[in-house]
Each structure stands twice: as C-alpha cells, then as structure tokens.
Amino acid sequence: KPEISLESRMELLDLRLKEVEDALEEGDQSVKLDPVTHQPIVRLTHEFLKRHLKSNPDAYVETEAFNRELKLNSIGFKRIENLRGFINLKFLRLDRNEIIRITGLDTMKQLVSLNLSVNLIRRIENLDGLPELASLNLSENLIEKIEGLEMNTKLEHLDLSMNQIGK
C-alpha cells in the first residue's frame, strides 16, 4: 500500500483544527487547549479516523476491521484511543506524535509491527496482549528501563535507541 501523503495528513489535521476552532467559538467547554502552546489538543477520535480512512481510498477501506495497516504518524496525538475496531491490523505507525503512554492496543491480536518512535513514552507497558508482535520501534522516547516484554515471545526486532536506558 502506498505511503499516506503529507498533504493528506495535513488536510486531516486542518479539518480537525477547524472543528476545534468552531467548537471554541460556540463555547464548547469540552475542547482542551495545550497549557504550554495554547493550541488545541488533537485527539484520535472516531470522526478523525472515519475521515482519515475515507480520504485515503488507495491505502484504506472504510471498514476498520478490513485494514491491515494504519499510519497515523506526525499528527500530534497525545493518547492512543478509539482503535478498537482495527482488529485485523498487522502494521501500526504512531511515530512522531506526543504519546505519553502505551495503551489502547489490546484488541489488536494480529499486530506484527508497531512503531511508536519519537514520542514521550517513559515506560514499556500494555504490550502483553499482542501475541504476534515481531517488530517494535520505541526509539527516541524517554524510556529508562527495559521491561514489560516478557509475553512478547515472537519479538524479533526491538529498537530502543536514543532513550534514557542506563542513564
């Protein structure tokens, strides 16, 4: 499947930011702003995912369960959420976001490759429910200790470069 173009990702991000701006104008108190940058916090919502799948028909099908690969890199997500429907996913890219914790992957029993590089993750956790995981990229995070991988017996490739391990 082809790489999702930067233009497509930026278009989706622009749509999400427009929604947030409209909500703020209407006085919607559920919209959160980043306390440091004062920019809207981009969330991985069901609506965002629907638009993402629909706007990239060469790479995805609209039914979540039929997708084998999902690329959500460089968007600015802080949390992994609303991915429960992607039960047959084999490859997931969430690199270059602002993710703090590894969560929300428990329904992805077929996941073979996970890229969470260049995020803000401090701890390897919640991967024990991924029995097929063979490749894990956690490079350029804030991880201090190698742990939480005991159940990942099929893991062949692990990248923990440029972390805080041993410091």
* Residue 162 phi, psi dihedral angles, 5° rounding: 55, 50
Task: State residue 1's pLDDT score.
Answer: 39
Number of neighbours of residue 102 by Cβ within 10 angstroms = 22
User: Strands 69-71 and 135-137: what pairing?
Assistant: unpaired
47: which DSSP letter?
H
What is the Cα gyration radius of the chain? 16
Could you read off the pLDDT of 92-127 as tens digits, one per residue? 999 999 899 999 999 999 999 999 999 999 999 999
Rounded Cα–Cα distance for residues 2 and 86 (Å): 19
Number of neighbours of residue 73 by Cβ within 10 angstroms = 19
Task: State residue 34's pLDDT score.
Answer: 67
Task: State residue 45's pLDDT score.
Answer: 86
Rounded Cα–Cα distance for residues 133 and 3 (Å): 22
Task: State residue 2's pLDDT score.
Answer: 45
Q: Reply yes or no on whether the pLDDT at 4 is more than 70.
A: no
**Cβ–Cβ < 8 Å for 161, 143:** no
Task: State residue 140's pLDDT score.
Answer: 94
85: which DSSP letter?
T
Could you read off the pLDDT of 133-162 as tens digits, one per residue? 999 999 999 999 999 999 999 999 999 999
Q: Reply yes or no on whether the pLDDT at 3 is more than 80.
A: no
- The mean-pLDDT minimum among 9-18, 43-52, 86-95, 111-120 falls in 9-18
